[in-house]
C-alpha cells in the first residue's frame, strides 16, 4: 500500500479544492506559464521571435523531442522507465535515410514503417516487463542497446538522404502560417485526449498509482503495460520520423541525446516519475520549454556551453515550483 493510503486525512466537508484551482496548479499549467514567460523573454531580445518563420522553426526543432517525451509519458505514468526511446529514434532515423520514399504516398509508408518499428520494440518491452516481470529499466536498457546496435549495422556512419518530400513538406507550413510539425503534435495531443477516455487510458493511471489495488479493482495490469509500451514505441517512431524530416540525413546515434532530455521534458511537464500523476500534454510543452530555453539563451548572448547548466536549473526549479504551488493554495483555503 502506498503511504498516502494510510494517512488519515479526515477533512471537513466543503474543504474541497475547486476545479479551477486544481487546473491552475497542475503541472501542465505551470509548464505552459513557463513557456509563455520564456517566449516573452525571447521576443524581448530577438524582435523576429514573433514572426511566423521563427515560430515554425521553433516548433520544428521541438517536435521530435516533444513526441518522444509524449511516448515516454505513457510508460512513466504506468510507473516505469523506457530507455528504448534512444534506440527507436536512432533506428527509425537510419531507416528513413537508407530507404527514402518520395512523394506523399512514400511519406505515409515511411511513417507507417517507423510506427511499426516502434510497435515491435514496444511489444518486446511489454513482453519482458508484463509477462517475464523484468524491471522496466533493465528490460528497456537491453532493447535500447539492441536497437542502437541494429542502427549501426544498417548505417555505420552518418550519411544517407531522407526523401525530399519529407524534409521539405513536413518542415513547412500550411497556408504559410501553421507549421506542419505543429499539426502533427496537435494530432498526438488529440489522440491522447481520446485515449484518456478509454478503459485502458484510465487503467494506466490506476496501474501507476498502485499495481496491486488496480489488479484487485479488476484492471488487467498486463494489458495496460503492453498498451503503454506499444503506444510509447509508436510515438518514438513518429519522433524518429520527425527528426529525419528535420535533419534530412541519417545518423546511427541520432537518438542518444534524447535519452536524458526526454525524462527532463516529462518531469518538467509535471508528470510524477513515480507514476500515476501527470499527463502527456505537459510533457509536450516541457519539451518545448527545453528547446526554447536554448534559443532564449542564445539570443540573450549566453554561450551555448552554458545551455545544459540552465536546462538543469530550470528543470529543478519547475519541479520545486510545481510542488510548492498546490501547498500555497491549500494554505489559502484553510484560512
* Contacting positions for other proteins (CB under 8 A): 1-2, 4-11, 13, 16, 194, 197-199, 201-203, 205-206, 208-210, 212-220, 276-277
Residue 61 CA to residue 295 CA, distance in Å, equals 10
Nearer to other proteins, 133 or 197 (CB): 197
Q: Which CB atom, from 77 or from 107, has the smaller least distance to other proteins?
A: 77
Contact 275, 227 (CB under 8 A): no
**Least distance from other proteins to the Cβ atom of residue 135, Å:** 17
Q: Which is nearer to other proteins, 54 or 200 (CB)?
A: 200
Report d(CA 326, CA 199) in Å as an integer.
28
- CB of residue 229 vs other proteins: minimum separation in angstroms? 19
Question: DSSP characters for 195-229?
Answer: HTTSHHHHHHHHHHH-HHHHHHTT--HHHHHHHHH
- Is 120 or 206 the residue whose CB approaches other proteins more closely? 206
CB of 251 to other proteins, least distance (A): 40
Q: Which lies closer to other proteins via its Cβ, residue 48 or residue 327?
A: 327
Please identify, using beta-carbon distances, which residue of 133 and 301 lies nearer to other proteins.
Answer: 133
178-179 vs 173-174, strand pairing mode: antiparallel
Provide the minimum distance between the beta carbon of 213 and other proteins in the complex, in angstroms, as a whole number: 4
Phi, psi torsion values for 13, nearest 5 degrees: -60, 150
- Could you tell me if 242 and 89 are in contact, meaning their C-beta atoms sit under 8 angstroms apart? no
Min CB(273)–other proteins separation in Å: 14
Q: Which is nearer to other proteins, 101 or 277 (CB)?
A: 277
Contact 163, 110 (CB under 8 A): yes
For the bound state, the minimum distance from the C-beta of residue 331 to other proteins, rounded and expressed in Å, comes to: 16
How far from 72 is each of 86, 182, 265, CA to CA, in Å? 11, 19, 9
Task: Tell me the closest approach of the beta carbon of residue 131 to other proteins, in angstroms.
Answer: 16
Instruction: Round to whole Å and give the CA distance between 32 and 40.
Output: 12
Terminal alpha carbon distance of the chain: 32
Amino acid at each position: 500500500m502506498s503511504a498516502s493510503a494510510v494517512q488519515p486525512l479526515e477533512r471537513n466537508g466543503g474543504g474541497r479544492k475547486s476545479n479551477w484551482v486544481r487546473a491552475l496548479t497542475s503541472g501542465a499549467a505551470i509548464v505552459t506559464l513557463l513557456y509563455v514567460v520564456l517566449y516573452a523573454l525571447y521576443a524581448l531580445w530577438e524582435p523576429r521571435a514573433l514572426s511566423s518563420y521563427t515560430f515554425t522553426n521553433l516548433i520544428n526543432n521541438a517536435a521530435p523531442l516533444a513526441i518522444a517525451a509524449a511516448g515516454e509519458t505513457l510508460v512513466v505514468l504506468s510507473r516505469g522507465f523506457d530507455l528504448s526511446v534512444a534506440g527507436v529514434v536512432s533506428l527509425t532515423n537510419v531507416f528513413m535515410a537508407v530507404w527514402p520514399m518520395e512523394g506523399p504516398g512514400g511519406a505515409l509508408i515511411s511513417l507507417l514503417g517507423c510506427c511499426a518499428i516502434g510497435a515491435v520494440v514496444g511489444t518486446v518491452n511489454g513482453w519482458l516487463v508484463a509477462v517475464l516481470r523484468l524491471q522496466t529499466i533493465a528490460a528497456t536498457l537491453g532493447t535500447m542497446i539492441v536497437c542502437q546496435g541494429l542502427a549501426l549495422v544498417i548505417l555505420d556512419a552518418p550519411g544517407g538522404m531522407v526523401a525530399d518530400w519529407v524534409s521539405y513538406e513536413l518542415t513547412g507550413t500550411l497556408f504559410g502560417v501553421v507549421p506542419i510539425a505543429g499539426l502533427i503534435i496537435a494530432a498526438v495531443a488529440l489522440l491522447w485526449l481520446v485515449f484518456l477516455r478509454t478503459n485502458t487510458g484510465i487503467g494506466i493511471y490506476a496501474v501507476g498509482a498502485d499495481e496491486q489495488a488496480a489488479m484487485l479493482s479488476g484492471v488487467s495490469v498486463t494489458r495496460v503495460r503492453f498498451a503503454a509500451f506499444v503506444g510509447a514505441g509508436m510515438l518514438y517512431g513518429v519522433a524518429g520520423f520527425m527528426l529525419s524530416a528535420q535533419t534530412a540525413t541519417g545518423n546511427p546515434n541520432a537518438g542518444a541525446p534524447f535519452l536524458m532530455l526526454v525524462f527532463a521534458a516529462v518531469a518538467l511537464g509535471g508528470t510524477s516519475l513515480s507514476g500515476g500523476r501527470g499527463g502527456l500534454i505537459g510533457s509536450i510543452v516541457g519539451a518545448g520549454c527545453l528547446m526554447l530555453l536554448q534559443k532564449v539563451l542564445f539570443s540573450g548572448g549566453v554561450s551555448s556551453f552554458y545551455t545544459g547548466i540552465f536546462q538543469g536549473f530550470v528543470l529543478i526549479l519547475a519541479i520545486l515550483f510545481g510542488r510548492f504551488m498546490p501547498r500555497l493554495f491549500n494554505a489559502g483555503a484553510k484560512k
